[in-house]
Chain A
Amino acid sequence: MEHVAQNPWVALAYLVAGVCFILALRGLSHPTTSVRGNRLGMAGMLIAVVTTLATHDLANMVEIGGAILIGAVIGLVAARRIAMTAMPQLVAAFHSLVGLAAVLVAAAAFLNPLAFDIAELVTPMIGEPFAAIHPASRVEMILGIAIGAITFSGSVIAFLKLNGNMGGKPILLPARHWINLAVLLAMLFYGASFYWSQGPGDFWIVTALAFALGFLLIIPIGGADMPVVVSMLNSYSGWAAAAMGFTLHNTAMIITGALVGASGAILSYIMCRAMNRSFVSVIAGGFGAVADAGSAQAIDRPWKRGSADDAAFLMQQAEQVIIVPGYGMAVAQAQHALREMADLLKAQGVRVKYAIHPVAGRMPGHMNVLLAEANVPYEEVFELEDINAEFAQTDVAFVIGANDVTNPSAKTDKSSPIYGMPVLDVEKAKTVLFIKRSMGGVGYAGVDNELFYRDNTMMLLADAKKMVEEIVKALGH
C-alpha cells in the first residue's frame, strides 16, 4: 500500500477528477452549458471516489457503503425539500459539514498516520515503536484541522443567523479584537509546539481554539453582511480541502481546494465592492448595530401614497417597466405573483425588465435563482452595470422588497453610512412605485431612504405579495 501513490495511473485519475471540477465551474459561465458542467462535476467526484476505493485495502467495505448511503439519503432529501428562499441557510449548513469533515479527516490522519502514508515507523532504543509524522505533514495537518474547525463553527453561527434561530443584530463583545488576537496567537503557539513535539495535547488544543475562533469571528457580523460571510466561509472550506490535499499529496483535492478557495474569495470581493465596504470592515463587524437614528424627523416629511389600481394604470400606460426585487420579495414569497404581473404587462405591449443589485438577497445570485424559480426568462434579468443607464428612459421603476440598494443618498450624502455604495438609479425613472410594508421601518443599513419623499415616488404600503396580487387583479380587467 505504501507505494500506491507512486502508481502513475492513480495520480492521473486524480488529475482527471481535478480537471472535471475545473470544467464544472467553467460550465457556469452560461445557463445553457451549466447543466453539462454540473454533470462533469459529478463525474469528477465519481472518479476520485472509485480511484480511492480501488487502490486501498478495504477492511470495512460494508461500513463505508452504509456511511455513503446514509449521507446520500440525507443530502438528497435536503436538496429536494429546501425552499429556494432558504438557499443561504442550506449553503451555510453544507459549509459547516465540509469544515467538520475536514476536522474529522485531519484527526483520523493524526491518529493513524501510517494509513495515510505520512509517517515513518520509528523504533527507539527503549520503549514501543511509534509513527513519526513527517514535519511537513504536521504543518499541513494542523492547518487543515484549524481551517476546518473555523469553517465549521463559523458556518454554524451563519446558519443560525440566516435561519432566524439567532438575531441578525451583531453581538459585540467588549475588546473582541483583542480576544480574537489572543486566540490566534495561542493557536500559533500550540501549533508550533505540535510541530516540534507531535503531542496530542497540542493538537487538540489547537482544534478547540479554532472552533472558538470561528464562533468569535462570526457573532459580531450583522445580518446585512451575511452575503460576504457566506462567501468567505465558502472560501475557507476550499482552503481546508486544499490543506488536506497537501497532507495526502492528492492533486484532485489540491485543485478543488484552490478552485473553491478562489471562488469564495472572488464572491466576497464582489459583495464587498457592491456595498462599498472593505473586507476588513466587514470582518471587524458591528455594521447595522446603530439603527433608527434620525428616522424620527424623517417620518414627518411629505410622501405620496398610491393604490394597486394607480400602480396598474401607471404600468399599463408605460412603454418600459423595470422591476427591482430585493430580499423583501423573497420573504413575502412574491416572485410568482410578480412574474404573473409581468406576463400581463407584456401581453399589453409593455417591455418588462428586471434589475438586480449584487447584494439583493442573502447570498450572491440569490435573487436570480428566485426569479428563475418563478420562470422569469433569463434574458429579462440584468445586472446593475448593464441596466443602470436605462432608468432615465424608463417610465416606471417598480421596487419590491429592496431598499438600501435604491437609496439616492448613497450618491450624494457624505454622512450616510452607505455613501459610495453603487445603487440602482431608480429615481431617474419617470415614476417610482415602491412597495413597502409600512413607512416606519428602515433598511438593513439602518438609514432612511431619500427616495420615499421624491415627487416622482408613489409608495404602495402593503405586504409585497398581497400588493402584487391586487395589481394583477387590477390589470386583469
Chain B
Amino acid sequence: MDFISILSIFVLACFVGYYVVWSVTPALHTPLMAVTNAISSVIIVGALIAAAAAGSPGSKWLGLGAVVLASINIFGGFAVTARMLAMYQKKGR
C-alpha cells in the first residue's frame, strides 16, 4: 500500500471515530475508555511480528515484552469492560 492510501484510511477513520464516539451515551464513558484501551492494544500485531522474527535477539525480546504488555491490556481491558457492562444489564429486569 502506498502512503496516500494509508493516509486516506487514517483520515476517514478519524471521521468515523468522531461520529461514533459522539453517539456513545455519557453513562458509558468509563466502559468506552476501558474498551478503547483494549483495542488500542492491537499494536500486539507489531509485537508479534518482532517476537516471531528470527535474526535479532534484541528485537525478539523487545517484541516478547510488548506481547506481554499488550496482552495484559487486551485481556484486562475487555474483561473489565465486560464486568462494567454486566452491571448495566442487571437493570433491564
Contact = CB atoms under 8 A, between A and B. Distances in A.
B10 to A, nearest CB: 5
Name the interface size band of chain B: 35 or more
B10 A246 contact: yes
B51 A67 contact: yes
A68 to B, nearest CB: 5
Given A64-B67, A372-B88, A75 B75 contact: yes
A240 B27 CA distance: 27
Contact of B75 (A72, A104, A114): A72
Contacts of A260: 17, 36-37, 39-40
A258 B40 CA distance: 9
B79 A59 contact: no
Interface in A150-185: none
A41 B47 contact: no
Interface in A254-275: 254-264, 266-267, 270
A234 B36 contact: yes
Contacts of A257: 10, 13, 40
A368 B29 contact: yes
Interface in B37-52: 37-52
Contacts of B50: 105, 108-109, 112, 115-116
Interface string B72-87: 1111111111111111
Interface of B: 1, 3, 6, 9-11, 13-14, 16-18, 20-56, 58-60, 62-92
25 contacts: A21-B42, A25-B24, A52-B48, A60-B52, A64-B51, A74-B76, A75-B75, A75-B77, A78-B76, A80-B79, A90-B80, A94-B72, A98-B69, A101-B66, A115-B49, A241-B43, A244-B46, A246-B10, A264-B33, A264-B36, A266-B21, A365-B28, A365-B29, A375-B91, A383-B26
